[in-house]
Structure 1
Amino acid sequence: MRAVTYDSFAPDNARLRCGEVADPKVGPGQVLIQVRAAAVNPVDWKVMAGGLDGMMDTVFPVIPGWDVAGVVTATGPDTPEFAPGDEVMAYARKDVVQAGTFAEYVAVAAPAVARKPATLDWAQAAGLPLAGLTALRSLDRLAVGPDDVLLVHGAAGGVGSLAVQLGRDRGARVIGTASEGNHAFVRGLGGEPVSYGEGLVQRLRALAPDGVSAVADFVGGQLETTQAVLAEGGRHVSVADPRVEQHGGHWIWVRPDGAELAVLAAAAERGALTVEVARTFPLERTGEAFDASRTGHTRGKLVVTP
């Protein structure tokens, strides 16, 4: 099959190659997915740079990618949940960095897989798992409900845009930081946009004079702002700043979880959740997709389509 690989850590795309590799094997409790789309996440190029080498084992050559949407073509022994022809999606992170989703096929453990909602196309479905599960886990840890004022740092990004929608679906008032060019987008999701940068604390206090009850930081470096606007007894999480744990917050790491992914699929089916796709790239242009992700200014998701 065709796949994107790299054979050593690198801070840029110099080691990325697109070519033929062996087809994946399908073990017990696994499904083989023909990849229709695989979303790019910042963790993909951070892993390629060795950013998680102290935490996860790596076996070269590596096929990057942890998000996938596609069609089941085979199942391993004792995998009754799925059958060939099923349209599915998954957060396909594994215990070892090696066999990812930027390929024509990927084998994934069945417990990480959920059925693709008909309301999302392939690119949207590929963009949902990692970002959606991160947003859902964050809001669950915050116990966001209808009485909350939720602040989302990075509301126009892949994770933040989903958190805004999930927060609104729970009945919370949602305020989201975004560049002025993305304010209309955030409003369309049901959030109240506020420009980041100098004067942010003052602007947030004007919108929420009594403070916010919950904060989800999806960009990092926001701890001081969070502390300045968090109401007494408020809760906060971050996916990018472990310092929050020293200040009463939670550092969020998403897990592969097909059951939780099915919750997101159900929200999409009833029209409460959609996925913004910024651009799609063919497999051989994965490096360009990584470059676009590195800018940190993408609205929604970047997706590779083998």
Structure 2
Amino acid sequence: MSKAVRFTEYGGLAALRVEEVARPVPGAGQVLVRVRAAGINPVEAAILTGFFAEHWPATLPAGLGSDVAGVVEEVGADVAGFGVGEEVLGFTHTFELGRGSFAEFVVVEAAELVRKPAGVPWEAAGALFVAGTAAYAAVRAVGVAEGDTVVVAGAAGGVGSLAVQLAREAGATVLGLASERHHAWLTDHGIVPVPYGPGVADRIRAAAGGKVDAFVDTVGEGYVELALELGVVPDRIDTIIDFAAAARHGVRTEGNLQAATADVLAELVGRVDKGLLEVPIEASYPLDRVRDAFEHLARGHNRGKIVLVP
């Protein structure tokens, strides 16, 4: 037997349980991973409320969690690329496979795993997939290039903290909208911090010293309209959250789904290993405190990711 997070009904954290379940068995093309770290994401909080129930109906009780890093415990038939004892990171799809990574053991498709470099911490590896691929897709969507000035809203959050670094690596001047307690971190990473709040458009113009070329929105709450006010053309605005505004104004909505591949994950973890990309970890929680972890996430203004460590 092993422990796994399950939710028994839609409605929120009260439905979350840590239960004893049978240890999963990998099938053909699958790998059993002993989980060392699994990042939690806003999408999982939305799943709990039933927000996605119409599009991705779950058979309850269901597992939860996509991000995963751990050690190969067992391999199924037809798996040639991984061996027992190897350190890996990857992703799993809760609704498609009836399982989730918030568990001591999880079965993952071998095609959705990559090897973890020895120098990459478990928490960083286990928090990389959802936020990292969303950041990668968003920066790519707005065509960030050498000499651009790019604004990222939510610049210290799970996705934003990675997007600012990827845009900076591409040669852009990056302005990061964030709470003041995160400004030192942004400055240390070559980002120009800009406070939220009334007058933000004027502060962005002053910090940019000219035109803004691209805008990545990870927050919602009117930032698509702010980007348009700043003169950014719709084709160079990407929001990963405000789909209503995107529909109104014809801006891009590329995020995790557009870059959710093992190849992209391998590229990102390679950057982490080389010291080109930092995955900030706000906090780590044991599996038994999964509700506390989600409550921490809901408080907002976090720097980077919150991670479960079974």
Distance 1:7 1:189, change over 3 A: same
Distance 1:99 1:232, change over 3 A: closer
* TM-score, normalising length: structure 2: 0.94
- Structure-1 separation of matches of 2:54 and 2:210: 42
- Structure 2 residue 275 is matched with structure 1 residue 286: no
- Structure-1 separation of matches of 2:25 and 2:247: 40
- Structure-1 separation of matches of 2:22 and 2:33: 15
**Identity of paired residues, percent?**
38
- Structure 2 residue 149 is matched with structure 1 residue 145: no
* 2:22 match: 22
After superposition, the C-alpha distances for 1:171-192 in whole angstroms (9 at most, x for unaligned) are 1111110011111011122211
* TM-score, normalising length: structure 1: 0.95
CA deviation after TM superposition for structure 1 residue 112, in Å: 1.8
Letter in 2 for 1:83: G
* 1:31 match: 31
Task: Please tell me the root mean square deviation across aligned C-alpha atoms, in Å.
Answer: 1.6
- Structure-1 separation of matches of 2:207 and 2:22: 55
Letter in 2 for 1:6: F
* 1:266 match: 270
- Aligned to 1:251, the other structure's residue is in SS state coil
- Structure 2 residue 234 is matched with structure 1 residue 236: no
- Structure 2 residue 286 is matched with structure 1 residue 257: no
Distance 1:111 1:230, change over 3 A: farther
- Structure-1 separation of matches of 2:207 and 2:19: 52
Distance 1:250 1:233, change over 3 A: closer
CA deviation after TM superposition for structure 1 residue 234, in Å: 5.8
Which sections of structure 1, spanning at least 5 residues, go unmatched? Answer: none
- Structure 2 residue 228 is matched with structure 1 residue 224: no
- Aligned to 1:135, the other structure's residue is in SS state helix
Instruction: Say whether the 8 Å CA contact 1:59–1:96 is kept in structure 2.
Output: no
* 1:299 match: 303
Letter in 2 for 1:197: G
Distance 1:168 1:23, change over 3 A: same
CA deviation after TM superposition for structure 1 residue 58, in Å: 0.4
Instruction: Say whether the 8 Å CA contact 1:56–1:97 is kept in structure 2.
Output: no
Letter in 1 for 2:171: G
Instruction: Say whether the 8 Å CA contact 2:153–2:217 is kept in structure 1.
Output: yes
After superposition, the C-alpha distances for 1:251-287 in whole angstroms (9 at most, x for unaligned) are 1241331110001011112210011111111111000
Letter in 2 for 1:220: G
* 2:159 match: 159
More divergent stretch after superposition (158-167 vs 136-145): 136-145
- Aligned to 1:250, the other structure's residue is in SS state coil
- Structure-2 separation of matches of 1:158 and 1:107: 25
What are the equivalent positions in structure 2 for 1:129-140 lying under 5 Å apart?
129-140=129-140
- Aligned to 2:98, the other structure's residue is in SS state strand
- Structure-2 separation of matches of 1:230 and 1:29: 49
* 1:116 match: 116
* 2:173 match: 173
- Structure-1 separation of matches of 2:231 and 2:188: 25
- Aligned to 2:236, the other structure's residue is in SS state strand
- Structure-2 separation of matches of 1:49 and 1:97: 20
- Aligned to 2:14, the other structure's residue is in SS state coil
Instruction: Say whether the 8 Å CA contact 2:91–2:112 is kept in structure 1.
Output: yes
- Structure-1 separation of matches of 2:196 and 2:153: 9
After superposition, the C-alpha distances for 1:160-179 in whole angstroms (9 at most, x for unaligned) are 01111111111111111001
CA deviation after TM superposition for structure 1 residue 107, in Å: 0.8
Instruction: Say whether the 8 Å CA contact 1:146–1:170 is kept in structure 2.
Output: yes
More divergent stretch after superposition (50-59 vs 279-288): 50-59
Distance 1:305 1:233, change over 3 A: closer
After superposition, the C-alpha distances for 1:30-50 in whole angstroms (9 at most, x for unaligned) are 211110011111111210110
Letter in 2 for 1:155: A
Which sections of structure 2, spanning at least 5 residues, go unmatched? Answer: none
* 2:281 match: 277
* 1:70 match: 70
- Structure-1 separation of matches of 2:155 and 2:278: 14
- Structure-1 separation of matches of 2:208 and 2:162: 22
